[in-house]
Structure 1
Amino acid sequence: MSTVRPTEVRTTDYHTAGEPFRITDLTAADAPLPCPPGDTVAERRANLLGPGGDGTAPRPGLPHEELRLLLAREPRGHSGMYGGFVVPPDDDGAHFGVVFWHKDGYSTACGHGTLALGAWAVDSGRVAAPDDGDAQVRIDVPSGRVTATVHRAGGRTTGVTFRNVPARVTGRGVKADTSLGPVEVDLAHAGACYASLPARALGLTVDRARLPGLVRAAGEIRAALAGHPATLHPAGPLLSGVYGVTLYEELPDTPAGPRQRNVTVFADGQIDRSPCGSGTSARLALLAEDGALEEGRELTHESVIGTVFTGRLVPGAATGQVAGLVTEVTGSSHRTGEHRFTLDPDDTLGTGFGL
């Protein structure tokens, strides 16, 4: 039986370029649960993970884990659901913190979620913003501190730009075997570790009709790279391991710079409907190292559903090969609804199910 006993769970839902983000504010007076224990957001996430805290599986039976399942799974969610628990920041330098979650557990980074949280913070009045101009929202996430700059015009939010933690390339031409043949992938850390390769290397294209094959190949690549040295993060196991696999194809350049279409598959086969925010940062680091993207130019990054992020290197913010490159990604987030979910004690499905 579920250990969640709130009368109701309130959420505010956004989508960023088509990818959902469900916000539950655990710092609110009517929060369904207290914040998970820990002095930092990273510690709070670690305390929600299973033995070893390596991010491979959530710790079963915890109230917060039951709450994640309630919000992520059917009939209240779906296999592509994503969200976050708003928690206190690590210190007074940020407005708040967030523990990201998806259908399989808790992630270290989420670019599309950061964009949504910036819009939510301003739209809700949590962070003051002008009717015309920009407002900065500083957010502590498990991989570090990120900033969402919310763009405003006429009293409305028109877009959001997030500055990610530094991104760095960690592997080139790493071999991985798949059922479609051996491939070589590039690896970059940008809050999480992403493996990138052109879809054509697998005989595939990035379109909806090919999604089953893309997802299957991504899962095989992720499994093949388990424990590879290039997937390890110097901060330790909590930030190590391939989180997402980005399969991309080149499109004609725009006047502003390169253009690509991608699908990023993360966790246990979850498809990012957006161009993937943190994954875009990883692509920027790889393109910069290739000499295909210079300061002042931008990547037009399309998703499998046709939505777009633009990404760029922050001028003068290169921090070296070890520390990485500072990147910014711009997109749009829109509120889709506010919910009051309940858990009927007589409901035999409890916190739901997944298909």
Structure 2
Amino acid sequence: MKPTSEPVFLASGFTSGQPVACFDASSVPHGARSMGGVRDALAGGLEWVRAEYFKRMDGDPGAIVAVVTRPPGPGADDGLLFVAADGPLGGCGEATMFASAIRAPGGGVVFDTTSGLVHGTGDGAGSVTLRMPPVGGTPAVHSVLADDRPLTVRIVPVAGNTFAVVAAADAGLDLSATRRLARHGDLLLRQVAAALARSGQAPQPDMLLLTEPVAANATRSAVIWGNAILNQGPCGTGTCARLVVALATGEIGPGSVLRHHSPFGPAFETWMEGEHVLLRGRVDR
């Protein structure tokens, strides 16, 4: 369905290795009082953006698109929603950094999202820091059987996405073998979600984070989501989830900065300030 006023394509690029893009839908009327209401009211517009970018513009199928909207109320400069190739996405740190670099390249911007306010600050030279919405408490820990392997799964809801965090070694997966990660990770995510559903556990994960142990305040993880899509960057919301797990398991201490790499090399730096996670990455247009 075509929106009343078409969103405007602003730019595409990369955030720490992840392909991203941004559309401006702030001229599209919605009349909503919350970002959940904006998402519902602009459903047709989001579908238009998806078709425009991934079909007509032949955008990277692994990209995530930030859609800037009119904020539903005071306290934010813009609203922000997210679209992937298979439909709307709950949240994305990389796309938020990209939108922040476009809306306020050398200053600050406040986005309202479905999970709360995100503050973005750019230095004008490509580095962007996000102050994410408050994160929850200690991750829920479950024991599941997947591929005949007993796995410890930590469930971490953060910034619109829910992660199943699993040690890559326990799953028998090598993060350097990137060609295998998407297919095997997608299957593993489905098995974990099914096992948790059978035991009546909630919330259900929509993303899998396969990770390695922290060494010298650094680690590496792979994030798989959607239709067997392997995130090419370190994943902003996934980095938040990994920091929460590292603090809960004692891999790092309070106040420490964690360097979180993707399987392809680029990294985010992340740390806690009170109940908020801060993320720093690089935007390239």
Letter paired with 2:25: L
When residues 35 and 175 of structure 1 are mapped into structure 2, their CA distance, relative to the original with a 3 A threshold, is farther
Q: How does 1:127-276 map to 2 (within 5 A)?
A: 129=106, 135-151=107-123, 156-169=124-137, 171-179=139-147, 181-191=149-159, 192-207=161-176, 208-211=178-181, 212-226=183-197, 231-232=202-203, 241-250=204-213, 252-253=215-216, 258-276=217-235
Letter paired with 1:122: A
When residues 3 and 90 of structure 1 are mapped into structure 2, their CA distance, relative to the original with a 3 A threshold, is closer
Q: How does 1:261-340 map to 2 (within 5 A)?
A: 261-314=220-273, 317=274, 325-335=275-285
TM-score of the aligned structures, taking structure 1 as reference length: 0.72
Q: Is the 8 A contact 2:121 2:128 kept in 1?
A: yes
Letter paired with 1:108: G
Show the counterpart of 2:75.
93
TM-score of the aligned structures, taking structure 2 as reference length: 0.88
Give 1:112 shift: 1.1
- How many angstroms apart in 1 are the aligned matches of 2:199 and 2:279? 28
- How many angstroms apart in 1 are the aligned matches of 2:45 and 2:213? 45
- Bigger relative contact order (CA 8 A; separation at least 6): 1
- How many angstroms apart in 1 are the aligned matches of 2:7 and 2:33? 27
Q: Is the 8 A contact 2:66 2:99 kept in 1?
A: no
Q: Is the 8 A contact 2:21 2:98 kept in 1?
A: no
Q: Is the 8 A contact 2:151 2:170 kept in 1?
A: yes
Q: Which of these two proteins has the greater Rg computed from alpha carbons?
A: 1
When residues 69 and 179 of structure 1 are mapped into structure 2, their CA distance, relative to the original with a 3 A threshold, is farther
Letter paired with 2:15: T
Give 1:163 shift: 1.0
Q: How does 1:77-88 map to 2 (within 5 A)?
A: 77-88=59-70
Give 1:35 shift: 4.3
How many residue pairs are counted as aligned between the two chains? Answer: 282
- How many angstroms apart in 2 are the aligned matches of 1:157 and 1:285? 29
Same amino acid, percent of matched pairs: 23
Of stretches 291-300 and 8-17 in structure 1, the one that deviates more from structure 2 is 8-17
SS at match of 2:264: coil
C-alpha offsets along residues 213-236 of structure 1, whole Å, 9 cap, x if unaligned? Answer: 23332333234334876543xxxx
When residues 230 and 169 of structure 1 are mapped into structure 2, their CA distance, relative to the original with a 3 A threshold, is farther
- How many angstroms apart in 2 are the aligned matches of 1:148 and 1:170? 26
Q: Is the 8 A contact 1:136 1:150 kept in 2?
A: yes
Give 1:147 shift: 0.7
Of stretches 177-186 and 15-24 in structure 1, the one that deviates more from structure 2 is 177-186
Show the counterpart of 1:42.
36
When residues 107 and 169 of structure 1 are mapped into structure 2, their CA distance, relative to the original with a 3 A threshold, is farther
- How many angstroms apart in 2 are the aligned matches of 1:188 and 1:229? 17
Unpaired segments of 5 or more residues in structure 1? Answer: 29-33, 50-61, 124-128, 130-134, 233-240, 318-324, 336-355
Give 1:7 shift: 9.0
Give 1:143 shift: 0.8
- How many angstroms apart in 2 are the aligned matches of 1:229 and 1:276? 28
Give 1:104 shift: 1.9
Unpaired segments of 5 or more residues in structure 2? Answer: none
2:91 corresponds to 1:109: yes
C-alpha offsets along residues 189-231 of structure 1, whole Å, 9 cap, x if unaligned? Answer: 2112111011111111112243232333233323433487654
When residues 157 and 145 of structure 1 are mapped into structure 2, their CA distance, relative to the original with a 3 A threshold, is same
Letter paired with 1:136: G
Q: Is the 8 A contact 2:185 2:208 kept in 1?
A: no
C-alpha offsets along residues 276-331 of structure 1, whole Å, 9 cap, x if unaligned? Answer: 111111111122122222233111100011111011111xx1xxxxxxx3211111
